[in-house]
Amino acid sequence: MLSNTQSETNATDLAYHLHSQTNPQALSREGAYIVVKGDGTHVIDENGKRYIDAMAGLWCASLGFNNQRLGRAAATQYEELGYYHSFYGRTNPKAANLSKKLVELTGMAGGKTFFVTSGSEANETMVKLAWLYHASRGKPTKRKIIARDRAFHGSTIVAGSMCGLEMMHREFGLPLPGFIHTLCPNNYRVRLPGESEAEFVSRLAGELERMILREGPDTIAAFIAEPVIAGGGIIPPPAGYFEAVQKVLAKYDILCLDDEVVCGFGRTGNWFGRETVGMTPDMMSLAKGITSSYFPLAAVVVSPKILEAVERYNESGTSFGHGFTNAAHPVGAAVAAETIAIYEELDIVPHVRKIGARLHQKLAEVTKDSPIVGNLRGVGLMYGVELVEDPSTGTPFAPARQIGARLAAIAYENGLVVRAMRDTVGFCPPLIIDDNDVEEIGAKLQKALRETEKAVQAKSI
């Protein structure tokens, strides 16, 4: 039972707030975790207890939880222009300049930026543009979207349909028809015993091609992928995966959509995850790290051939029929510009590579020889520790035992925020972590892991 359950904030919250991805009965029984303050990589609850947030909130607070420069950037822009839209040819200087910067950063030469307000909207926008692209070329039947098992792409209806996670589907009758899923490129769970990495890649590409042929190539519009699967358990692809996949896509005139919502802006040790995994997309969705989530802004950067399709479809004088009220928000654009400036001043990519290697080393030290750790995987500053009943065979725990969730709860009691994805415990800390933060994460994980091991051994969980 949480100590703050009877607080005024908690009472109000329980009475009026419907929470995202939260069990309603557990919330009513235990109350909410109330966070009142940020301090760099830490957050502080209403009782004054400090927690190091090794998940950067929701994979997003890359610059920590109280960056004053981002606050000042927002305040300054609010004084100049608090809101304007991008419909009917309107713009503002901050949005115009940011659109240029994003095209340059992503390397999408000759492309343009379309602004939205969330990663879900960005991924949904890429689907609509894929449909438009094929229709403009006289191929209106190319509408199906291929995603992957274990993928997460958002919570709107189309984005939710692209998720390869049952929890995103069961309450809502999803996925919609036309959204299909191929194998997850998980070296630990999907790769067969004795199968080399190259053979695994060949099998994944072969299964993708067989799916395309079963469905009919003239019905497939696009393939969407995170460079590194995040919410499905932090799963980097095997070497050569995207090169093999994109050969199949090119063969059948299928677009490649890059979901950089988590992986973008330095997270994987490059500016964008596509560089880390060898992906050459037709469109890229950007969110989370674009503003360190200090403002709800996101974007899609599109290649020239997508732009040509939009222009061709509207050459008679009609208007592009897609957009959002708060897209290209001047305050969001100002915060994004300042966020990117800070990344550049921090030389964030070399920093992530260096401190990421240190975090990986520390996680390896803590989990080595654990009787319940089967796999440590990741890249840059995103890692997953998969808990299993038998590390020698990889036998998973029974899902009902919720071992990952129990470890995450124990870690929280010890002042460490992690995330359980089934029985994989995720680490995606703010990009600004230093050696002291790494040591704190390691020490608190070690304590939580030992407590969990004892509980498993005693069969109390």
* CATH code at position 446: 3.90.1150.10
Residue 62 sits in the same domain as residue 76: no
Residue 302 sits in the same domain as residue 367: no
Residues 164-184 as b or e (16 or more Cβ within 10 Å = b): bbeebbeeeebbeeebbbbbb
Domain boundary among 328, 346, 364: 346
343 contacts: CB under 8 Å, gap ≥ 6: 62, 265, 266, 431
Domain boundary among 346, 368, 403: 346
Q: Give the integer Cα–Cα distance in Å for 401 and 388.
A: 11
Question: Does 61 fall in a domain?
Answer: yes
Question: Does 12 fall in a domain?
Answer: no
Question: Does 362 fall in a domain?
Answer: yes
Q: What is the CATH number of the domain that holds 152?
A: 3.40.640.10
299 contacts: CB under 8 Å, gap ≥ 6: 99, 102, 113, 114, 115, 116, 122, 285, 286, 287, 290
Confidence of residue 3 (pLDDT cuts 50, 70, 90): very low
Residue 233 sits in the same domain as residue 375: no
Residue 186 sits in the same domain as residue 323: yes
Identify the pLDDT of residue 451. Answer: 97
Which residue segment(s) compose the domain that 211 sits in?
70-346
Residue 316 sits in the same domain as residue 374: no
> What are 18-77's pLDDT values in tens digits?
999 999 999 999 999 999 999 999 999 999 999 999 999 999 999 999 999 999 999 999
**Count of structural domains, the chain:** 2
Residue 243 sits in the same domain as residue 342: yes
> What are 251-289's pLDDT values in tens digits?
999 999 999 999 999 999 999 999 999 999 999 999 999
Question: Does 198 fall in a domain?
Answer: yes
Q: Quick check: 382 and 267 in contact, CB under 8 A?
A: yes
Q: Quick check: 388 and 371 in contact, CB under 8 A?
A: no
Residue 316 sits in the same domain as residue 376: no
E strands within 213-276?
Answer: 220-225, 255-259
Question: Does 7 fall in a domain?
Answer: no
Question: Does 17 fall in a domain?
Answer: no
Structure-token pair, residue 397: 């725990």
> What are 163-195's pLDDT values in tens digits?
999 999 999 999 999 999 999 999 999 999 999
* Residue in this structure with the two tokens 């050696």, named with its chain if needed: 435
Residue 351 sits in the same domain as residue 338: no
Helix, coil or strand: residue 170: coil
Question: Does 267 fall in a domain?
Answer: yes
Identify the pLDDT of residue 7. Answer: 86
Structure-token pair, residue 187: 């070296």
pTM attached to this predicted model = 0.96
Domain boundary among 329, 346, 363: 346
Residue 187 sits in the same domain as residue 319: yes
Residue 157 sits in the same domain as residue 190: yes
Question: Does 11 fall in a domain?
Answer: no
Residue 289 sits in the same domain as residue 415: no
Q: Give the integer Cα–Cα distance in Å for 419 and 56.
A: 10
Considering the chain, what is the average pLDDT of its residues? 96
Residue 133 sits in the same domain as residue 169: yes
45 contacts: CB under 8 Å, gap ≥ 6: 4, 33, 34, 35, 36, 51
Q: Give the integer Cα–Cα distance in Å for 419 and 428.
A: 9
Structure-token pair, residue 258: 């890059």
Q: Quick check: 381 and 431 in contact, CB under 8 A?
A: yes
